[in-house]
Amino acid sequence: MISQRVLKMKKSAIHEMTRLSKQFEDVAFLSWAKPTSGTPEHIRQGAISAIQKGITDGYSPTDGIEELRKEIVAKLHRDNNIKADLSEIIVTVGAIEGLAAAVMAVIDPGEEVIVPTPTYSTHIRQVILASGKPVMVPLIEDKEFTWDIERVKNAITPKTKAILYCSPSNPTGTVFLEQELRKISEIALANDLMVITDEAYEYFVFDDHQHFSIGSIPEMKKNCISTFTFTKTYAMTGWRIGYVHADQEVIQHIRKAHIPFAICAPVVSQYAALAALQGSQECVKKFYQHYSATRNLMCERLDRLDSVFSYQRPGGSYLMFPQILIDEGKDSVAFCKRLLTEAKVSATPGRAFGPTGERHIRLSFCVEEEMINKAFDRMEVYFK
C-alpha cells in the first residue's frame, strides 16, 4: 500500500530524540535547531492588525501578496546582491516547501542530486520524495568542512541533475567561501546542473565570515534556485513562511509544484513577514549578538572537554558538529541515548546528517547561556 519512495525514507533521528527526551524531566536541551526567543512584538502586531482588517481570510495570489514580494525583491538586491524581478519570487510555506517544490520541479525519477555530507537531513529526504537519488559527497572536516571540489567533479554522472546545499550549514555551522561557491558554479555551468540553495541562516555569520549567494553570479541566472526563510532571521518558526527565487523560465515550473503543495503560503503569516521586512531590524541584530555569545561560550565549554570532543569552530548558523573522540562515539545514536538517560543532556546524533555524520553530535546554541552551562556542567561530571 505504501510507495517505495516513502518506504526508502528512514525514521528521523531528530524526532526520535525529541520523543525520547520528553520522557525525562529537567533535560538540558541542545538538540533543537529552532530559535528559543519568541517572534518580535511588531511582527506579531502586523499579523494581528491584518486579521482585524479582515484581509487574511481568503487565499492570496499563488505567488504571495505583491507588497511582500516587492519587499523581498528589495531585500534580495540589498543583502544578497541578487537582481530579482517581482515575477521571479514565490512566497512559500517556509523554506522547506520552497525547496520541496524546487526539487519536484527539477528532478525526474532516478536522477542524481549531489549533496554535501554532513548536511541537513530534510534535503536528503526531499530528493528521495521526488524519486531522485541523493549522492553524498563528503566535506573536508579538517578544513572546517569545506567542499572537496575534485570529489564533486568525480561524483558527476550522466544522471546528475542538481547540487543542493545549505550555507551557513545545518549541522556544521560552515559558511562556504565565495571562492568555493564560484568553483561550484563553474562545475554547474560546465555540466548544465541546477544549483539549489538553502540560505536559512544567512544573517547569522560570525567573525570575518561572509555569506555569499551563488544566485548573485549573473551567469548562474538560469542554473540557480535560491531559497530563504523568515524562520531563523525573525524567530518565526511556527509561522511557516519563506520564499524562493529563480529565473522566470524556471520559476514558472516551480509554481506548478507549489500549487498542489500549498496553493499559497498562509496569508496571516505573509502579513507578519511584511511587518518583519518593513519594521526595525534591531531584533535581527539582537539575535545575532546572542548567538555570537552563545557560540563563544559553547566553544569554551567544549575546550574543557577536549578528551571527549574535537570540533570545528562554526562560522555561522547556530549549530555545531563536534566529533566524538571516545570509543562510545562509534554509534552516535547509542551515544546520544546514553547521554540523555544518564546525564540528562539532549543532543542530536550525527548519523542523521549523512554517512560522514556518524561519530559526531549536533549541538545547538540558539538557547540561553544557562542551558549551555547546565548541559556542560552535567557532561563534565558524566565524562570524568
Ligand X SMILES: Cc1ncc(COP(=O)(O)O)c(C=O)c1O
Q: Confirm if 216 and 249 have CB atoms less than 8 A apart.
A: no
Residues forming beta bridges with residue 138, ordered by sequence position: 117
Q: Dihedral sign for Cα 14, 16, 19, 24, please.
A: negative
Residue nearest ligand X, Cβ-based: 94
Q: Which is nearer to ligand X, 71 or 344 (CB)?
A: 71
Q: Which of 25, 47, 13, 12 is nearest to 269 (CA)?
A: 47
Question: Smallest gap, in angstroms, from Cβ of residue 170 to ligand X?
Answer: 4
Decide: is 13 part of the binding site for ligand X (CB under 6 A).
Answer: no
Radius of gyration of the chain (CA): 20
Question: Smallest gap, in angstroms, from Cβ of residue 10 to ligand X?
Answer: 18
* C-alpha to C-alpha distance for 27 and 368, rounded to whole angstroms: 14
Give how many residues touch ligand X by CB under 6 A. 13
Q: Which is nearer to ligand X, 242 or 329 (CB)?
A: 242
Question: Smallest gap, in angstroms, from Cβ of residue 192 to ligand X?
Answer: 26
Site for ligand X, residues 57 to 96, rule: CB under 6 A: 94-96
Question: Smallest gap, in angstroms, from Cβ of residue 218 to ligand X?
Answer: 26
Decide: is 30 part of the binding site for ligand X (CB under 6 A).
Answer: no
Q: Confirm if 322 and 302 have CB atoms less than 8 A apart.
A: yes
Residue 229 is which amino acid?
A: T
Q: Confirm if 220 and 185 have CB atoms less than 8 A apart.
A: yes
* 220-237 CB burial, b ≥16 within 10 A, e <16: bbebbbbbbbbbbbbbbb
Decide: is 198 part of the binding site for ligand X (CB under 6 A).
Answer: yes
Q: Could you say which of 14, 17, 27, 33 contacts ligand X (CB under 6 A)?
A: 33
Q: Which is nearer to ligand X, 63 or 198 (CB)?
A: 198
Question: Smallest gap, in angstroms, from Cβ of residue 165 to ligand X?
Answer: 9
Going by DSSP bridges, is the β-strand pair 348-349/361-364 parallel, antiparallel, or unpaired? antiparallel
Question: Smallest gap, in angstroms, from Cβ of residue 328 to ligand X?
Answer: 27
For ligand X, what does the binding mask look like between residues 222 and 261, x meaning CB under 6 A?
Answer: -------x-x-----x----x-------------------
What letter would DSSP give residue 183? H
Decide: is 170 part of the binding site for ligand X (CB under 6 A).
Answer: yes
Q: Which is nearer to ligand X, 21 or 237 (CB)?
A: 237
* C-alpha to C-alpha distance for 239 and 197, rounded to whole angstroms: 21
Residues forming beta bridges with residue 244, ordered by sequence position: 90, 227
Q: Which is nearer to ligand X, 263 or 334 (CB)?
A: 263
Decide: is 126 part of the binding site for ligand X (CB under 6 A).
Answer: no
Q: Which of 365, 337, 341 is nearest to 351 (CA)?
A: 337
Binding site for ligand X (CB under 6 A): 33, 94-96, 120, 166, 170, 198, 200, 229, 231, 237, 242
